[in-house]
Amino acid sequence: MVQLQIKKENVYVPDLAKLIKKRKMTEWETLFTFEFVEGRMKDLFTYKPGQFVQLSMFGIGEAPFSISSSPTKRGYLELGIRKTGDVTNKIHELEVGDVVGIRGPYGNGFPTESLKGRDILFVAGGIGLVPLRSLINYVIDNRDDFGEVTIFYGTRSPDLLLFKDELAAWEALDDIDLHVTVDAGDDDWKGNVGVVTTLFKKKKFKTENLSAVVCGPPIVYKFVVKELLDIGVGKDQILLSLERKMKCGVGKCAHCQIGHKLTCIDGPVFTLFQVEQMQEAI
Amino acid sequence: MGNNGKPTVGIFGFTGCAGCQLNILNLEDHLLDIISLVDITSWVMAKAENDDGPWDVAFVEGSIAKSTDIERLKKIREKSGVLVAIGACATHGGLPALRNLADTDEWKKEVYGDDYERIDAIDIKPVSHYVKVDYSLPGCPMDKAEFVEAVKALLIGKTPYIPQYSVCGECKAKENVCLLKEGKFCMGPVVQAGCDALCPTYGAACEGCRGPAPEANWAAEVEILKKIGATSEDVKRKFLKYCPSVADMEEFKELEF
Amino acid sequence: MSPPYVMKRTDIKKLVEAASNEYDVFGPVKKRSKHVFGKIDNPDNLVMDYDSTILSPRKYFQPQNEVMMSFDLEENKVEDTLDELRAMRPRLLMAVHSCDLNGILHLDRVFGGEYTDKYYFARREKTTIVGINCLDSCEYGFCRSMNTHHVVEGYDLFLTPISGDRYYVQVGTAKGEHLVHMARDIFQEAGPEDFGAFKAALKHKNESLPHEVDVEGINEYLDLSFHHEFWDKMAEDCVNCGACAMVCPTCYCYDVVDDLDLSLTSADRTRKWDACLFQEFALVAGGHNFRESPAARFKYRFYHKMRGFAHDQGILGCTGCGRCTAACPSDISIKDVLKELSGIWEVAPTAQGGK
């Protein structure tokens, strides 16, 4: 996919974007759909699954967010955002029609080209599904390009499941094998109970052509990586999307530096091989 | 919200010199702007008519020095959405709390004579000892810029910005000559930044009026001061002068002076 | 290469006076017992022969606080400050040591690249730099160990003190040549005798600058030492105040904050110096801190400076200026850290607990 670069005079200046849809997913997370105010941006702004943007709430601050929509859907941008601080609290107060600033896309994104032809196991813990959803929908929209697709998704409880409608839609697809689990169920929960790694018992993988794509809170990586190595996935075929506090997004402020890598431009997607070279990465 | 749709604010003073409240009055450039955004419904120092709350935000100055203050403080807390402690007395006990270091009955007798038992005086504590404090603006006096920043932040609904490091960071950014290197007993390495290194900028050692920075390495500061000639007593006094409440912290109790 | 010149040292005043018509002039001035880079309104205040300055010249290219853009919250308008910056009066920065010239070259790499930082380069382009050769060592510096006692670029003019109370003047750029022409009569084209004097000065420098720290193998030492208890021991004295980062010529970390106007209708976005020593530096949304302990942050600063830079830029991030040592309230010496670090491996290359 050819990436159109928006040549900007000043990389730090955001473009204006309007909130066009707001869909509450859980008590804490909402899916926000934005479109750029300036018409030409709709064509110019292209991105890869796994990339992120810097979103400005003017006067409050700026924060990085993974893009949750798939680039196969043009003209808008979906960001799944959890309330955790000043910027995200304010974003949750936005009403349709309100304007924010967005700049990007930044980061390397997932290597969609080299994943072609491979079987893919997605492992998402909690809010980690937000960036993975972009790639999952990209794969679904280019289904013939990829091999077997499995999705493992775990959250703490059923009320924290994200993208519930979409989970149902993925479940209904014959060529997607979706497994969902919760750490603790409730009275209505009929599905799996246990942390996301327990799903590895559900399925035997042939690993010679398998790539794993993992995203979740820091604790998820350690345990999931262990499972993946146990079943024989190569270190260069385990892809982790890391979270750091990018302030600039373009490799200058150094907030997201891990070892000798910058999460914002070298990542946020790293192979396990790379992660092992970077101290304090996970 | 008040009748005019503006958030209501109460400003209260307990035991202290009232200098922090005075500092609010001294915000000449900003005071009218602030008043256009909020409704100050209680401020005994500055207003003839004061109501009895409730308040969206209460700014509380001073330390808690007598038992009747405790009840008054708790009432303010009950009637306030957000409570902000302003100044070293409210945040850490402040200079008045130096009296904690002496025997209460003894000084009471000396100051008030035979009738001393009538005097309501308890060990001085900061506001947070008795009620939940949402935000603290430390310092003696509280920094005016930080106050304005807090007002703006609360109005727009964000967390007031307080640097999470020590005065040395700010002091170096201002390119001050290090006073420790000149042999002055400076508290900069362990004291909460946010004052823009005001005292060291004018050649006066940091006295620690803003209290300990997060994760302050006090043991290192003890070493630093001793290396340039401070006695154990000097160091202890430096640590406790403006912030006697520090004496209650576990990290302080574990220190070897 | 442009032909070199010679000039009388006392003529520096004339150069500053001539340049003042076109430039705001900055250079080392006295501040109590130390020196700092400051504005030169009176050429008598300029100190050409100084030990070091508290802050490096970084502050002229990446100021402590910099408003990047303003927001009109009612109209949803964003306006950056680049035009103002470009309208700034040109600057002349006097008497920059080799270590600091190398520091500036570091910053050029950081702020350049695919995403060019226009603020940094607007300031950089507005600035003419007169470097000066240090022929003798300074109190805390160890430039020779870091190989920053020489420069081949990064200056517009470069002065080397030579015999006869003169400077040997190398011209690095057209900007430098422009400066020469502003006070043409104080510069004479260098002749064979001057080349001899220049060589003698370099010989003196070669003999006088000590080689104190061996950084050969530093990458390996660091890779092997990440989990070594040495770091915890070193960090015991660290107060995480960030003084070392503030004074460092190659530290560039910054934080970004929005400052609202009291009317709540407009705001400025400001970036300000930050330090990886600070508690919140690696904190992410939701409260996870990737470098939670003060010791982890202390260690990280060394790794980024000595190891991370080597990866990113192919060179170490330390210029050996010694400012961090001078600034540390706990007297932690970067030279000592480096020496001890290499010591661990010299003593027992296989027995220690590296991983």
- Residue A206 corresponds to which tokens in the numbers above? 């042939």
In whole angstroms, give the CA distance from residue C288 to residue C7. Answer: 59
Q: Which of C236, C237, C240 sits opposite B215 (nearest CB)?
A: C240
Confidence of residue A2 (pLDDT cuts 50, 70, 90): very low
Question: What amino acid occupies position C100?
Answer: D
Mean pLDDT value across residues C133-145: 94
| A259: nearest CB among C68, C115, C308 | C308
Name every chain C residue with its beta carbon within 8 A of the beta carbon of A251.
Answer: 113-115
CB contact under 8 A, C285 and A85: yes
pLDDT at C307: 75
The CA distances from residue A251 to A107, C102, C245, in Å, are: 10, 20, 18
Asked if C280's CB is within 8 angstroms of B172's CB, the reply is no
Cβ atoms of C85 and C122 within 8 Å: the answer is yes
Q: pLDDT band for position B219 (50/70/90)?
A: very high
Residue C352 has pLDDT above 50, yes or no: no
The pLDDT assigned to C222 comes to 83
Is the pLDDT at C350 greater than 70, yes or no? no
* Record: contact A61-C115, CB cut-off 8 A: no
Interface test with C, best of B168, B196, B223 (most C CBs within 10 A): B168
- Asked whether the beta carbons of A155 and A182 are under 8 A apart, the reply is yes
Q: Give CA–CA dist C118/C142, Å, rounded.
A: 32
What percent of chain C clears pLDDT 70, i.e. is strictly above it? 95
The mean predicted confidence, pLDDT, of chain A is: 92
DSSP count for chain B of H helices, then E strands: 11, 5
Closest CA to C303 of A277, A266, A271, A219: A277
**Is residue C318 within 8 angstroms of chain B, CB to CB?**
no
The A residues from 64 to 93 touching B (CB cutoff 8 Å) are 85-86, 89-90, 93
Number of inter-chain CB pairs under 8 A, A vs C: 120
Q: In B, what residues contact C, Cβ < 8 A?
A: 30, 33-34, 37, 148, 151-153, 155-156, 161, 163-169, 171-178, 180, 182, 186, 188-190, 203, 214-217, 219-221, 223-224, 227
**How far does C157 lie from chain B, in Å, by closest CA?**
26
Interface of A with C (CB under 8 A): 9-14, 16, 56, 58-63, 82, 84-85, 88, 99, 101, 217-218, 243-245, 247-248, 250-255, 257-261, 265, 279-280
Position A6 scores a pLDDT of 52
C226 vs A253, A260, A279: nearest CB: A279
In B, minimum Cα distance to C31 occurs at B177
Instruction: Please give the single-letter amino acid code of residue B5.
Output: G
**pLDDT class for C219, splitting at 50, 70, 90?**
confident
What part of C 24-83 touches A (C-beta under 8 Å)? 68-69, 71, 73, 76, 78, 80, 82
Every domain of chain B with CATH number 3.40.50.700 lies at: 8-156
Instruction: Provide mean pLDDT across the span B111-130.
Output: 91
Q: Out of B160-164, C193-197, C201-205, pick the least confident.
A: B160-164
Against chain A, the chains showing at least 3 CB pairs within 8 Å are B, C
pLDDT in tens, C107-120: 999 999 889 999 99
Any A CB within 8 A of C303 CB = yes
pLDDT, average across residues C157-162: 98
Residue with more model confidence, C226 or B199: B199
Across the interface, whether the CB atoms of A60 and B159 are under 8 A apart is answered: no
pLDDT number for residue A68: 96
pLDDT at A69 over 60: yes
Q: How far apart are CA B234 and CA A20, in angstroms?
A: 63
Q: What is the pLDDT of residue C312?
A: 64
CATH of domain B8-156: 3.40.50.700
Which candidate from B165, B224, B227 shows the least CB-CB separation from C242? B165
Query: Could you write out the three-class secondary structure of chain A?
Result: CCCCCCCCCCCCCCEEEEEEEEEECCCCEEEEEEEECCCCHHHHCCCCCCCEEEEEECCCEEEEEECCCCCCCCCCEEEEEECCCHHHHHHHCCCCCCEEEEEEEECCCCCHHHHCCCEEEEEEEHHHHHHHHHHHHHHHHCHHHCCCEEEEEEECCHHHCCCHHHHHHHHHCCCEEEEEEECCCCCCCCCEECCHHHHHHHCCCCCCCEEEEEECCHHHHHHHHHHHHHCCCCHHHEEEECCCCCCCCCCCCCCCEECCEECCCCCCEEEHHHHHHCCCCC
B167 contacts in C (CB within 8 Å)? Answer: 241
- Asked whether the predicted pLDDT for residue C70 surpasses 90, the reply is yes
Closest CA–CA distance from residue C252 to any residue of chain A (Å): 7
What is the arithmetic mean of pLDDT over C70-93? 95
Interior/surface letters C243-279, b for 16+ CB within 10 angstroms, e for the rest: bbbbbbbbbbbbbbbbbbebeeebbbbbbebbbbbbb
pLDDT digit string, tens, across residues C30-39:
999 999 999 9
Contact residues on chain B for C279, CB-CB shorter than 8 A:
164-165, 214-215
Please judge whether B188 and C237 are an interchain contact, meaning their C-beta atoms are less than 8 angstroms apart. no
Mean confidence (pLDDT) of chain B: 93
With a cut of 80, say whether residue A8 has pLDDT above it. Answer: no
pLDDT at A1: 38
What pLDDT does A89 receive? 95
- pLDDT tens-place string over residues C171-194: 999 999 999 999 999 999 999 999
Among chain B residues, the shortest Cα distance to C292 is held by B215
Which residues in B lie closer than 8 A to residue A61 (C-beta atoms)? 158
Which of B31, B38, B165, B182 would you mutate first to test chain C, the one with the most C CBs within 10 A? B165
**pLDDT class for C353, splitting at 50, 70, 90?**
very low
Determine whether the interchain pair B159/A85 forms a contact, defined as Cβ–Cβ distance below 8 Å. yes
- Give the domain ranges of chain C: 5-208, 218-347
- Chains in contact with C via at least 3 Cβ–Cβ pairs below 8 Å: A, B
Q: How far is CA A215 from CA A47, A132, A220, B90, C204, in A?
A: 19, 7, 8, 45, 59
Contact assignment for C32 to B177 by CB distance below 8 Å: yes
Beta-sheet strand order (sheet of A99-106): A61-66, A52-57, A99-106, A15-24, A29-36, A77-82
Mutation pick from A60, A88, A245, A255 vs chain B, by most beta carbons of B within 10 Å, is A60
Mean pLDDT of the A24-51 span: 92
Asked if C78 and A255 come within 8 Å (Cβ–Cβ), the reply is no
Interface test mutation site (partner B, options C52, C239, C247, C252, max chain B beta carbons within 10 A): C239
C253 touches chain B (CB under 8 A): no
Q: Which of A165-179, A225-239, C29-43, C219-233 has the lowest mean pLDDT?
A: C219-233
Average pLDDT over residues A92-100: 96
pLDDT higher at B161 or B132: B132
Mark yes or no for CB contact B165/C279 under 8 Å.
yes
What backbone torsions phi and psi does residue C160 show, to the nearest 5 degrees? -120, 125
Q: How many beta carbons lie within 10 A of that of residue B71, not counting itself?
A: 10
For C287-325, the pLDDT digits (tens) are 788 888 888 888 888 888 887 766 666 678 899 999 999
Contact C286 A84 (CB under 8 A): yes
CB A112 within 8 A of CB A48: yes
The string of pLDDT tens digits covering residues A112-166 is: 999 999 999 999 999 999 999 999 999 999 999 999 999 999 999 999 999 999 9
Q: And the tokens for A20?
A: 């066009």
B interface toward A at CB cutoff 8 Å? 156-159
Residues of chain B with C-beta less than 8 angstroms from the C-beta of A86: 157-159
Taking an 8 Å cut-off on Cβ atoms, the answer to whether C115 and A88 are in contact is no
User: Which residues does C326 contact at the CB level (< 8 Å), separation at least 6?
Assistant: C52, C54, C139, C140, C247
Mutate to test the interface with C, among B167, B172, B182 (most CBs of C within 10 A): B172
Query: Is there a contact between A89 and B157 if contact means CB atoms under 8 Å apart?
Result: yes
Domains of chain A with CATH codes: 15-106 (2.40.30.10), 112-241 (3.40.50.80)
Q: How confident is the model at residue C347 (pLDDT cuts 50, 70, 90)?
A: low
pLDDT above 70 coverage of chain A, percent: 98
Smallest Cβ distance to B220: which of C239, C263, C280? C239
Q: Distance (Å, rounded) from C-alpha A244 to C-alpha A255?
A: 8
Share of chain C above pLDDT 90, in %: 72
Q: Which residues of chain C does A240 touch, with a Cβ-Cβ cutoff of 8 Å?
A: none
CA–CA min distance C87, chain A (Å): 16
What would the pLDDT profile of B39-98 be if each residue is shown by its tens digit? 999 999 999 999 998 999 999 999 999 999 999 999 999 999 999 999 999 999 999 998
- Considering only residues A233 and C355, tell me which one the structure prediction assigns the higher pLDDT: A233
pLDDT, residue C295, reads: 85
Of B152, B153, B177, the CB nearest to C31: B177
